[in-house]
């Protein structure tokens, strides 16, 4: 019985153990299955994240390790004149180029530069001292030598900079031969390039011998290729170059580097450096060519993924043949009485649209007498212009009511005020030619006295000989308000960089007498482009047109010819003068009398017989240059008188008071004749002598 109980106890315990073991196994198995399930779920989530959410980026990342994209520049767009003649084109050259690898080291580029430098010769004109120092230290042996000489122990970037500073202080340590300088220039070009960008090592003048040598060893110089480069050429001559601008030859200009980098350019890109080339850089540049380079083991394959697009073309309003003629007219007549003159400038403009037909100029160094072409001087040289502004003064008098169309007769007398020198008209300095003048007649004979009396009336002053001047500085503000209204003394908005507003003389009580000078154009300074806009307002009946020089932006056809129009300039009216037509009629009649009047004091009689008829205003401003009394000769005019189609404005600052008389009208006469010959045929139906 006891034995039975013992066995029962034993077996009873086994039964309980077996039951416990059997219940534990499913629990462990279930736990393991749950762990596996969670791991599989985590793996699934991770795969979803990698393949679905970020699959594209990871594929690109993998591909990037084997494939890189190189970029290279394309031809710039061209610049044409209004008749379709090429003013700025492209000339292709065989070139030696270098595409900087993604992981290339300075040591590798140093080796390639030395090898390439033994095959080609490049210009070292722009090689800097720092370029020479970098090349010298490009040799690890020379770098260690300099570090030892300078007592530099570490081999970090700071150590290299210390080595550079040591060479700067001890230039005798290194002295490059002409051959080494050649290689140093190549090395500088390579190291200065952006990763995966292509630069020209030698863009022009590559000889057949150089091409052969480089071609034979291309496989030994990674990144070096024989390619094509383009330089600007000027089929119509370089007379337009100042206006058209230039393109850099050694990368981005320092003054705009940060801006251009932000726009996506590389430091080694050549871009427009001045004027139209700079202003229309994004239009002319085009889009870069892209080449996908794939590496697999020792083989490399190239595939053009985007052929690039040549820059779009700019078409100007300027007529090339006429522009050349206007420039030659200035040159041929700007010869005598100019010892103190700083130049001559002219603008020819369509008064109804604002389009510029020609913009010419000569800058003259007063000290040396050297003359250079300077078309841009018409927008950035401020000149005390003289009597040509008198049309604006008359309009100011009419618009303020101090004179009216029916009551505008004033007597020309010398203006004598206490504390100021006598101010007179050119024909009445002694007071022996006192005469009553209407507004039209005052313009005909160019009366200074008439304009000064208008200014005094506008300032609330009644003139009497010898009286104290009671004008306030506000008279300057009033006069300038109306002058600005007619385009004088503020920027015209022409689509060229560098335009200035002119120059304003001091406008306080101490200079109050100069307000009288202001009224006849002998105080503030204006630009010739402002004169063209000013005269256009009278020619078209009161519309202030914004001058422009770019007519169209056009694409390029496959055959190289001008393609479709992408942009067409439209005439822009900046403002309309709020004045009755009767006011304009008075001034226009006065301008007609300047060239056709019967007074013995008429100033533009040299143009009387010209057809189509010319209405104009001449000007002479008294100036002092280098201590010598000089004068500015100026001219503004339009033609035909009854139906104006063209405005001519010009100025010759610092001309001699003798020996240069009539130079302004001679130039104007020849420019008008050239316009009808080269731009528009003489339409006899428009050549009426009517003065409105």
Q: Is the dihedral of CA 524, 529, 533, 536 positive or negative?
A: positive
Nearest one of 298, 241, 295 to 67, comparing CA atoms = 295
Largest CA distance in the chain: 169
Query: What gap in Å lies between CA 314 and CA 432, rounded to an integer?
Result: 58
22, 27, 32, 35: CA torsion to nearest 10: 180
Q: Is the peptide bond before 640 cis (omega within 30 degrees of 0)?
A: yes
DSSP secondary structure letter of residue 648? E
Strand partners, 372: 363
DSSP secondary structure letter of residue 525? B
Backbone φ and ψ for 291, nearest 5 degrees, come out as: -125, 125
DSSP secondary structure letter of residue 63? H
CB 232 within 8 A of CB 247: yes
Q: How far is CA 685 from CA 191, 241, 471, 643, 689, in A?
A: 68, 38, 49, 10, 11
Chain mean position to CA 165: 39
Nearest one of 613, 600, 252, 228 to 446, comparing CA atoms = 600
Instruction: State the number of CA atoms in the 13 A half-sphere of 66 facing the CB.
Output: 11
Query: What gap in Å lies between CA 355 and CA 548, rounded to an integer?
Result: 5
Phi-psi region of 337 (alpha: psi -120 to 50; beta: other; left: phi over 0): left
- Polymer length of the chain: 692
Nearest one of 467, 488, 502, 476 to 538, comparing CA atoms = 488
Query: What gap in Å lies between CA 542 and CA 407, rounded to an integer?
Result: 22
- Per annotation, catalytic residue among 274, 342, 387, 519: 387
Does the annotation count 387 as an active-site position? Answer: yes
Q: Is the dihedral of CA 149, 153, 155, 161 positive or negative?
A: negative
CB 451 within 8 A of CB 391: no
CB 327 within 8 A of CB 363: no
CB 71 within 8 A of CB 289: yes
CB 381 within 8 A of CB 498: no
- List active site positions: 387
């Amino acid at each position: 019985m006891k034995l039975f109980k013992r066995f029962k106890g034993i077996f009873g315990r086994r039964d309980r153990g077996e039951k416990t073991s059997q219940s534990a196994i499913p629990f462990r198995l279930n736990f393991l299955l749950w762990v596996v399930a969670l791991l599989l779920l985590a793996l699934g989530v991770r795969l979803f994240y990698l393949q679905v959410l970020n699959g594209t980026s990871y594929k690109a990342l993998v591909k990037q390790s084997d494939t890189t994209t190189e970029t290279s520049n394309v031809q710039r767009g061209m610049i044409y004149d209004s008749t379709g003649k090429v003013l700025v084109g492209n000339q292709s050259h065989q070139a030696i180029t270098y595409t900087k690898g993604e992981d290339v080291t300075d040591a590798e580029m140093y080796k390639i530069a030395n090898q390439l430098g033994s095959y080609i010769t490049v210009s070292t004109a722009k090689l800097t001292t720092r370029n020479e120092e970098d090349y010298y230290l490009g040799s690890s042996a020379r770098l260690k030598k300099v570090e030892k000489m300078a007592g530099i122990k570490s081999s970090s970037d700071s150590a290299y900079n210390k080595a550079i500073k040591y060479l700067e202080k001890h230039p005798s340590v290194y002295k490059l031969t002409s051959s080494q300088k050649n290689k140093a220039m190549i090395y500088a070009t390579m190291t200065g390039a952006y990763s995966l960008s292509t630069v020209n090592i030698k863009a022009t003048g590559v000889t057949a011998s150089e091409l052969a040598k480089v071609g034979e060893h291309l496989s030994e110089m990674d990144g070096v290729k024989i390619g094509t480069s383009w330089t600007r050429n000027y089929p119509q001559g370089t007379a337009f170059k100042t206006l058209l601008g230039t393109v850099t030859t050694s990368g981005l200009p320092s003054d705009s580097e940060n801006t251009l980098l932000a726009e996506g350019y590389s430091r080694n890109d050549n871009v427009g450096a001045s004027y139209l080339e700079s202003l229309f850089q994004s239009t002319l540049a085009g889009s870069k060519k892209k080449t996908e380079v794939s590496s697999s083991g020792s083989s490399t394959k190239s595939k053009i993924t985007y052929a690039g697009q040549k820059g779009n073309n700019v078409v100007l309003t300027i007529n090339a043949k006429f522009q050349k003629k206007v420039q030659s007219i200035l040159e041929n007549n700007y010869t005598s009485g100019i010892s103190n003159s700083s130049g001559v400038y002219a603008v020819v403009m369509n008064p109804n649209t604002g389009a510029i037909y020609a913009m010419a100029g000569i800058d003259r160094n007063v000290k040396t007498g050297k003359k250079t072409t300077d078309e841009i001087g018409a927008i950035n040289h401020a000149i005390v212009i003289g009597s040509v502004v008198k049309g604006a003064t008359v309009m100011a008098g009419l618009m303020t009511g101090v004179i009216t169309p029916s009551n505008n007769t004033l007597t020309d007398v010398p203006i004598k005020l206490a504390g100021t020198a006598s101010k007179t008209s050119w024909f009445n300095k002694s007071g022996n030619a006192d005469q009553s003048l209407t507004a039209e007649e005052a313009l005909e004979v160019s009366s200074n006295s008439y304009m000064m009396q208008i200014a005094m009336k506008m300032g609330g002053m009644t003139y009497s000989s010898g009286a104290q001047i009671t004008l306030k500085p506000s008279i300057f503000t009033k006069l300038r308000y109306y002058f600005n209204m007619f385009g004088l003394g503020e920027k015209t908005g022409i689509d060229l960089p560098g335009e200035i507003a002119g120059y304003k003389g001091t406008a306080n009580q101490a200079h109050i007498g100069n307000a009288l000078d202001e009224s006849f154009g002998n105080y503030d300074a204006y630009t010739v482009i402002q004169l063209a806009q000013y005269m256009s307002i009278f020619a078209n009946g009161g519309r202030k047109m914004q001058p422009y020089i770019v007519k169209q932006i056009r694409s390029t056809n496959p055959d190289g010819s001008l393609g479709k129009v992408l942009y067409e300039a439209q005439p822009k009216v900046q403002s309309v003068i709020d004045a009755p037509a009767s006011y304009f009629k008075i001034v226009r009649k006065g301008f007609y009398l300047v060239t056709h009047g019967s007074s013995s004091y008429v100033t533009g009689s040299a143009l009387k017989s010209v057809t189509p008829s010319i209405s104009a205003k001449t000007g002479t401003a008294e100036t002092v240059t280098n201590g010598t009394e000089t004068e500015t000769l100026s001219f503004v005019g339009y033609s035909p008188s009854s139906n104006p189609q063209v405005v001519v404005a010009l100025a010759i600052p610092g001309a001699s008071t003798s020996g240069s008389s009539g130079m302004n009208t001679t130039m104007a006469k020849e420019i008008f004749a050239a316009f009808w010959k080269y731009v528009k045929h003489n339409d006899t139906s428009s050549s009426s002598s009517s003065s409105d």
